[in-house]
Every structure is written in structure tokens, then in C-alpha cells.
Structure 1
Amino acid sequence: MRHYFPEVPPRVEYELSEMSASMLPALEGFTSWIRIHWPQIEENRRAFDKE
């Protein structure tokens, strides 16, 4: 959701809708997977770049 405040300078605030908020558990799982596997991802990138 977007909230506009008619101020000078203009200000806008955003918040997740209920539907968007329902995605947070899935995103938390994904970001957790990234944190756990990031060292291996970086290692694989370095190995690929050496080829």
C-alpha cells in the first residue's frame, strides 16, 4: 500500500498488503538458504572464474 502525504517536501510511505505479507515466510526460507550456502556459492564462482 502507498500513502501520500501532501507536505513540502512530499512524503510517501509504503507498507505491505495482506497478500504481500503472506509471502514473508517463503522469503525468509529463501534468505535463510542463501545465508547458509553463500560461502559455497562464492567458492563455486571463484572456481568457475579460474577455468
Structure 2
Amino acid sequence: MLLVIGALEPGRRRFSELRRDIGDVSQKMLTQTLRSMERDGLVERTVYAEVPPRVEYELTELGRTLIAAVDPLARWAEEHIEHIEAAQRRHDARILVS
């Protein structure tokens, strides 16, 4: 959810743009996250009657209130990304050995 909020902060995005901006996320996981956020009133989904269909997502007013809370978490993650990735590699190596 945090990554979606960050990706939608600049404005409306199509699904493919979100997926590209977020990076390593499956279509299924992104779809589930967007649906959950839409249900919670954080994201608005707009479907345009075009061929092919065009769907865009944007933060609602309520969703935009989360930006101030997410920014410090994003900065923390950026500052500690090397430690996080090292921990992930150690974890993955243990799983492969098991």
C-alpha cells in the first residue's frame, strides 16, 4: 500500500504505469492492493468507455492525507535499503539451504 500511495502522489496513473513505477510487484498483488484501497476510500478508479478500455487510478482526498505519514517511511527505507536488501539475501539463502 505504501508504494502505491507514493506512486499515485504525483497524480492519476494507469495500471501499467503503476506497475512500472512500483517495480517488482505481480499483477495479482497490485490488483488486490488497489481494490482494497478503493474499498477503503483511499483510491478512486475511473473507467473510460474507450476501445481498448482505459482505467486510471488516483488518490482520493482521504488517500492524500496519508502522504504526510508515508513520506518519512519512504525516506527511512531509502536510507536503509542496503541493510534491508542484505537481510533479504541472508533470509533467502537460509531458505534455500533448508
Q: TM-score, normalised by structure 1?
A: 0.72
Please, which runs of 5 or more residues in structure 2 have no aligned partner?
Answer: 1-43
Give the match's secondary structure for 2:84: helix
Match for 2:52: what amino acid?
P
How far the C-alpha of 1:40 sits from its partner, in A, is 2.9
Match for 1:36: what amino acid?
E
Q: 1:34 aligns with which of 71, 77, 80?
A: 77
Q: 2:61 aligns with which of 18, 22, 27?
A: 18
Residue 5 of structure 1: aligned partner: 48
Q: TM-score, normalised by structure 2?
A: 0.42
**What whole-Å deviation, never above 9, does each CA across 1:1-51 have from its counterpart, x for those lacking one?**
1111111101111110000110011111101001112223344x266758x
Please, which runs of 5 or more residues in structure 1 have no aligned partner?
Answer: none
Match for 1:39: what amino acid?
E
Count of aligned pairs:
49
Q: Which 4+ stretches in 1 moved above 6 angstroms? A: none
Partners of 1:47 and 1:12 in 2: CA distance: 39
Please tell me the root mean square deviation across aligned C-alpha atoms, in Å: 2.0
Q: Which one has more relative contact order, counting CA pairs under 8 Å at least 6 apart?
A: 2
